[in-house]
């Protein structure tokens, strides 16, 4: 790695903390066998406890790739198949109805043209998802909010238990026909319940047995044990004036107790060191320290674009996103080189302030963990600075 570029990156990240944009952060740049780790700031605004490599962050949607990896391990074990209808394990969705039109009444439905499959859940083409529109734009939004909560930062303490979540979700129509188009988020939580039922355990136990335990990811889970709460950051959203507003405190955090629903879409907490292990596993194509956790065939499928042009074109999402990206299993895949990334790079972003990506062509990876939510209109300068610095340091 280029030392001068790393020094510049460290200085820019330090300035973000000094200027109060984030209370603290932890970052890592991986290039082949070299790893640069940088930490700065405090666990909470105005606090004195310094961020470290083992500081615990709420990683939000970075949960999705980990859960998808665990699901593919279960496919490998034969607990379910990729193209198996979900009805055996999730009977609540065995015979779904589908909205005739997104802007029509919730009662105006048609039969699903085919069953939802496990593959649909992994690729977010199950017909389930967040409606990307202002509240009250479509009638179905209010119904979904009663089951899943309003779109926004994860709220684990207010979630419904798994069986109740699936029962109430199954009583609602799908937004779209299975396989018709990509829709974000909700399918991941259904996948998590399916995995738990297939394993006969909680989702957290299923992941710990197959992924977190074998890799030594000791601080990754759906809640923080009492002995480790002192390592948990506070979490902030961005107020109308651009300042930080407390979302979830470290003391009394929603993540300090096991949640009613272990959310595969965004419920995990983790640390920089744990995510470094996962990044190395992904750069190793499912192999770490001579231990293969996932077959090469399934890993290739996970990190390849699984969407058709039609599925992308029908999707309401960030303008232009699918011009350069596709979706694999639980993560985004870059289909066109750009912004310093190779075609075939993969990763995702967590809305509470975390990012992770791997570039298998260059053998690089980047991880950035912060307490500042990205759910705000202004550009996220912490993230922008990090990726620019990473690309400069690894070329």
pLDDT digits (tens, 9 = 90+) for 191-232: 999 999 999 999 999 999 999 999 999 999 999 999 999 999
> Residue 319: its pLDDT value, please?
79
Q: In the predicted model, what is the mean pLDDT of the chain?
A: 94
Query: How confident is residue 159, by pLDDT bands cut at 50, 70 and 90?
Result: very high
Residue 375 pLDDT: 59
Among the four given CATH numbers 3.40.630.30, 3.50.50.60, 3.30.390.30, 3.40.710.10, the one describing domain 3-62+219-393 = 3.40.710.10
Q: Is 10 exposed, middle or buried (0-12, 13-18, 19+ CB in 10 A)?
A: middle
Which structure tokens are listed for 88? 């055996």
Mean pLDDT of 104-115: 97
What is the arithmetic mean of pLDDT over 328-355? 96
Residue with token string 């990754």? 220
User: What pLDDT sits at residue 291?
Assistant: 92
Q: Count other C-beta atoms under 10 Å from residue 78's C-beta.
A: 7
CA distance 25 to 61: 17
Nearby residues of 318 by Cβ (< 8 Å), 6 or more positions away: none
- pLDDT above 90 covers a percentage of the chain that reads 87
CATH 3.30.1390.10 fits 69-199, yes or no: no
Question: What pLDDT, on the 0 to 100 scale, is given for residue 377?
Answer: 46
**CATH fold match for the domains 3-62+219-393 and 69-199:** yes
Going by C-alpha positions, the residue among 228, 231, 212, 223 that lies closest to residue 262 is: 223
Structure tokens at 195: 């995995």
How far the first Cα of the chain sits from its last, in Å, is: 7
What pLDDT sits at residue 379? 45
The mean-pLDDT minimum among 133-137, 203-207, 290-294 falls in 133-137
Answer whether residue 376 shows pLDDT above 60: no
User: Is the per-residue pLDDT at 342 higher than 60?
Assistant: yes
pLDDT of residue 105: 96
Nearest in space to 69 (alpha carbons), one of 329, 279, 327 = 329
Cα–Cα distance measured from residue 144 to residue 185, given in angstroms and rounded to the nearest whole number: 13
- The pLDDT-based confidence of 381 (bands split at 50, 70, 90) is confident
178 pLDDT above the threshold of 90: yes
**Rounded to an integer, what distance in angstroms lies between the CA atom of residue 75 and that of residue 82?**
7
Record the pTM: 0.97
Per-residue confidence at 190, pLDDT binned at 50, 70, 90?
very high
pLDDT for 378 equals 47
Whether residue 343 has pLDDT greater than 60 = yes
What percent of the chain has a predicted confidence (pLDDT) above 70?
98
Domain ranges of the chain: 3-62+219-393, 69-199
Distance CA(382)–CA(83), nearest Å, equals 40
Q: Which helix (H) or strand (E) holds 356?
A: strand 354-359
Per-residue model confidence as pLDDT tens digits over 256-274: 999 999 999 999 999 999 9
Residues in the chain: 395
pLDDT over 80 (residue 2): yes
Q: Which residues contact 225 (CB under 8 A, 6 or more apart)?
A: none
Helix (H) or strand (E) holding 269: strand 269-270
Between CA 124 and CA 76 the distance in angstroms is 20
H/E element, 73: helix 63-77
Closest by CA position to 57, among listed 314, 308, 374, 350: 350
Task: Report helix, strand or coil for 350.
Answer: strand
Q: For residue 44, give both structure tokens.
A: 């909470």
Q: 61-77 pLDDT, tens per residue?
A: 999 999 999 999 999 99
Distance CA 171, CA 279 (A): 38
pLDDT above 70 for 117: yes
């Amino acid at each position: 790695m280029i030392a001068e570029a790393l020094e510049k990156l460290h200085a820019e990240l330090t300035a973000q903390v000094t200027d109060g944009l984030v209370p603290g952060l932890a970052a890592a740049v991986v290039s082949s066998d070299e790893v640069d780790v940088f930490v700065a700031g405090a666990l909470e605004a105005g606090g004195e406890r310094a961020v470290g490599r083992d500081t615990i962050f709420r990683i939000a949607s970075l949960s999705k790739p980990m859960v998808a990896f665990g699901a593919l391990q279960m496919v490998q074990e034969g607990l379910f198949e990729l193209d198996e209808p979900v009805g055996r394990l999730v009977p609540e969705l065995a015979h779904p109805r589908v909205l005739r039109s997104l802007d029509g009444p919730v009662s105006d439905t048609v039969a699903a043209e085919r069953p939802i499959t496990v593959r649909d859940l992994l690729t977010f083409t199950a017909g389930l998802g967040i409606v990307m529109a202002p509240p009250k734009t479509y009638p179905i939004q209010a119904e979904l909010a009663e089951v899943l909560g309003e779109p926004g930062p994860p709220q684990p303490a207010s979630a419904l238990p798994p069986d109740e979540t699936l029962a109430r979700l199954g009583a609602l129509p799908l937004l779209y026909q299975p396989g018709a188009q990509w829709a974000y988020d909700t399918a991941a939580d259904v996948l998590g319940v399916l995995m738990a039922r297939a394993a006969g355990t909680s989702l957290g136990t299923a992941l710990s047995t197959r992924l977190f335990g074998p890799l030594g990811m000791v601080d990754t889970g759906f809640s923080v044990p009492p002995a480790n709460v002192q390592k948990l950051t506070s979490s902030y959203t961005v107020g109308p004036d651009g300042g930080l507003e407390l979302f979830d405190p470290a003391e009394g955090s929603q993540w300090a107790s096991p949640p009613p629903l272990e959310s595969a879409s965004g419920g995990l907490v983790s640390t920089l060191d744990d995510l470094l292990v996962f990044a190395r596993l992904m750069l190793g194509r499912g192999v770490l320290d001579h231990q293969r956790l996932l077959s090469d065939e399934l890993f290739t499928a996970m990190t390849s674009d699984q969407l058709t042009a039609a599925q992308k074109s029908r999707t309401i999402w960030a303008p232009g996103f699918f011009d350069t990206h596709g979706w694999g299993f639980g993560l985004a895949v870059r289909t066109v080189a750009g912004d310093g990334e190779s075609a075939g790079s993969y990763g995702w972003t967590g809305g509470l302030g975390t990012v992770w990506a791997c570039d298998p062509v260059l053998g690089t990876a980047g991880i950035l963990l912060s307490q500042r939510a990205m759910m705000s209109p202004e550009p996220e300068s912490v993230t922008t600075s990090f990726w620019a610095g990473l690309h400069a340091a690894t070329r």
